Amino acid sequence: MPSQPEVDHTASAVILAAGLGTRMKSALPKAAHPIAGRPMLRHLLAAAEQVFATITVVVGPEMDGLARMAAPHPTAIQHDRLGTAHAALCGSENFGGGEVAILFADNPLIEAATLRRLLAERRSSGAGLALMAMRPADPARYGRLVVEQGEHGPTVARIVEWADATEAERAIPLCNAGALCGPADRLLGWLRQITPDNTKGEYYLTDLVRLAVADGARVVAVEADEAELRGINSRAELAAAEAVVQHRLRARAMEGGATLTAPDTVFLSHDTELGPDTVVGPHVVFAPGVRVDGPAEIRAFSHLEGCHVQSGAVIGPYARLRPGTVVGLGAHVGNFVELKATTLGAGAKANHLSYLGDAAIGAGTNIGAGTITCNYDGFNKHRTTIGERVFVGSDSVLVAPVALGDGSFVAAGSVITADVEADAMAFGRARQASVPGRAAAFRAGRKTGG
């Protein structure tokens, strides 16, 4: 495999993440909303960590949860939300002496290669400022980049906000995507010159272009695809970003050798691992923390989270694997079976309508339909240990803590409350009694009203 490019030790980044997400109508900070099982902020950090030596995240007051998401990177607090330039200044103590990029947490899909290109084109062009730009299918209310031909090539003369643009300017297809970079000293100087001369009385980061041009610096636009640069300010835009990420993840899974029989119906998490020759049926959901060793089969309408499925296993349809579950080599988990914090040994089977929680189940064991482990007493969770080659009959209830020895047999319909030794047969049900003729007498009595 080709080696990954190294982090640029002269470059730092400031991520602006103090937004409240007002348009989302949520108590959750905007940057904490998840895409593919990971907060927006963590998506952007994953890319930025491959490029920048130091990263500072600017959060708002009382955003302790978001600060924890940023760890181990330092945070700066924007106590008063006075605009994007003000937020960037809040993180300026960590600018360093080299290149600085200012990124937005609500632009979480930028890839590391694009961030490297932003730095490289700023340097190679000799520009004082480089801006990320895009040509969206629907430019809507994005700010437009007015580009003119300068002495050293095309240069961004100004950014025109949609509300202030003429009809001709609104027709410009090139839009501002927000992210930018420049030398730390010049960037800091321009930031300090920004004034709140606008209707909102805020300090706008876009004013950097005007100040840079006035200072004789060239400003260049670095274009990338809208799918990477789209902003997220509403639930609809969040859903659109989810679709972009799911498309990427599905493509990556299939390139890695997995078969998705109906790709658009399968939902993956950012960390889903599907080994070669894994076959995934329609309408399967992978929550975070799932690893499937190929070859394996995940059948339709199954839900997996925080689990490990080993080679040769068959899961579903309609199965649920919860965190802490390991399904062993060649094991089968069938329809309407739920496993939680359970190890199902090699070749073991639980094929129908069972709940197995906090259990260790040995190789070759068969769990009959309707079996449940009673693992919770209202206060504590308890373990069930089932040995190898055990047969548990249908509709059995195993009341933990309890252990079934190797080769033991549990009769159908049993309630097991005590350990069963190896190769023993356990009956935990009331003795059946039959009264000859009683059914006929019962029916006769009903007919006569007796």
Which residues have a catalytic role annotated? 352
Peptide bond into 74 cis (omega under 30): no
Q: Across-strand partners of 319?
A: none
First to last CA, the chain: 85
Q: At what angle do helices 207-214 and 184-193 cross, to 10 degrees?
A: 110
Phi/psi for 153 (5° steps) reads 120, -175
> What secondary structure, in 3-state letters, does 379-406 show?
CCECCEEECCCCEECCCCEEECCEEECC
SS3 321: strand
Alpha helices in 256-395 (DSSP H): none
- The CA dihedral of 278, 291, 348, 419, to the nearest 10 degrees, is -170
Token pair, residue 113, equals 């290669």
Distance CA 22, CA 4 (A): 38
SS3 90: helix
Residues 6 or more apart whose Cβ sits within 8 Å of residue 282: 261, 262, 265, 266, 300, 301
Note the maximum CA span of the chain.
Answer: 109
Distance CA 368, CA 392 (A): 6
Distance CA 385, CA 364 (A): 14
